[in-house]
Structure 1
Amino acid sequence: MNKKVIETSAAPAPIGPYSQAVMAGNLLFLSGQVCFDPATGELKNTDVTEETHQVMANLKAVLAEAGMTFDNVVKTTIFLSDMSLFATVNEAYSQYFSSAFPARETVAVKGLPRNVNVEISMIATA
C-alpha cells in the first residue's frame, strides 16, 4: 500500500511526532486539529464557537492540500472538554456539511492540548 504524508503551511504544524494527514490508498486520515491560527501560532479560543470554526478552517486547509473538500469526509471524531459544549459545537460544525453528513462520534475527554475545548479528526475518501 502506498502511503503519502500530506502537509500544508495553511494549517498548524504538528506539535509532536505525527503528520497533519496521511493518504493511504484512497483514504485520507486527518490528525486531530485544535484552534491554533496557522498565521500567528496563537489559539483562537475566545469562545467555543470561534474554536470550532478555527478547527474546521484548519481541517479544510489540510483537505484542500490533498485535493479534497468536506464533501469527501466520511467519518469525524469530535473531542470535547465537556459534553455541555455539544450543542454549541454541533451548531458550528454543521455549517460545513450538506445533507450527506459523515459518520461521527463525539466524546468528552479529561483534557485536550493547551487546554482547548474542541479537537476534531477526520477520515476522507478520494
Structure 2
Amino acid sequence: MTSQERLTIATNEAPGAIGPYSQAVQIGNMLISSGQLGMNPAGEFPDTVEEQTQRSLLNVKAILESAGFSMNHVVKTTVFLQDMNDFQKVNEVYATFFAEPFPARSAVQVAKLPKGGLVEIEVIAVKA
C-alpha cells in the first residue's frame, strides 16, 4: 500500500457498520477507527457499563488486528459515555487493555449513544 492509498478495514469479529461509514480506515501507517459500541458482533449489548466497555475494546482490538495493528499501536482514544458517573468503572476496564506509555485520551459525556449504548470508544493507531 502506498502512503496515500486509503484502505477500508472491516472484520466480522466486530459489529458491522450501522450506517454509511467504515469500521476503520487505514492510510499508510495510520489507522482511524469509527466509534465502537459495547455490543457483540451479533448486535447484542451486555447489561453493565463494565461489560460494554470490555466489549467495545474487544471490538477495537479485533479491528486493529484485522489490519495488522495491535493495541500497542494506539496513540489516541476518545471515550463517549452516556453517564460521566460511570467514568471510574470504565477506567478500570480500560486500564486492562493498555500499558504504559498510555495513549492520549479524551472522555466526554454525550446526551445519547446509538442503540442505547452506555459507552463508545474510537481510536487512532500508528505504526512507527
- Tell me the secondary structure at the aligned position of residue 49 of structure 1: helix
What is the match of residue 81 of structure 2? 80
Return 5+ residue gaps in structure 2 as ranges. none
What is the match of residue 100 of structure 1? 101
Q: Distance in 2 between matches of 1:70 and 1:34?
A: 17
What is the match of residue 37 of structure 1? 40
Please report how far the alpha carbon of residue 99 of structure 1 lies from its aligned counterpart in structure 2 after TM superposition: 1.3
Identity across the alignment (%): 47
Please report how far the alpha carbon of residue 123 of structure 1 lies from its aligned counterpart in structure 2 after TM superposition: 0.2
Partner AA of 1:73 in structure 2: V
Query: When the two structures are superposed, what TM-score results if normalisation uses the length of structure 1?
Result: 0.96
- Tell me the secondary structure at the aligned position of residue 34 of structure 2: strand
Query: When the two structures are superposed, what TM-score results if normalisation uses the length of structure 2?
Result: 0.94
Superimposed CA distance per residue, residues 105-124 of structure 1 (whole angstroms, 9 cap, x where no aligned partner): 00000000111110000000
Superimposed CA distance per residue, residues 57-95 of structure 1 (whole angstroms, 9 cap, x where no aligned partner): 100100000111110000000000111010000010010
Root-mean-square deviation (CA), in Å? 0.8
User: Is 1:19–2:22 an aligned residue pair?
Assistant: yes
Please report how far the alpha carbon of residue 2 of structure 1 lies from its aligned counterpart in structure 2 after TM superposition: 1.0
Return 5+ residue gaps in structure 1 as ranges. none
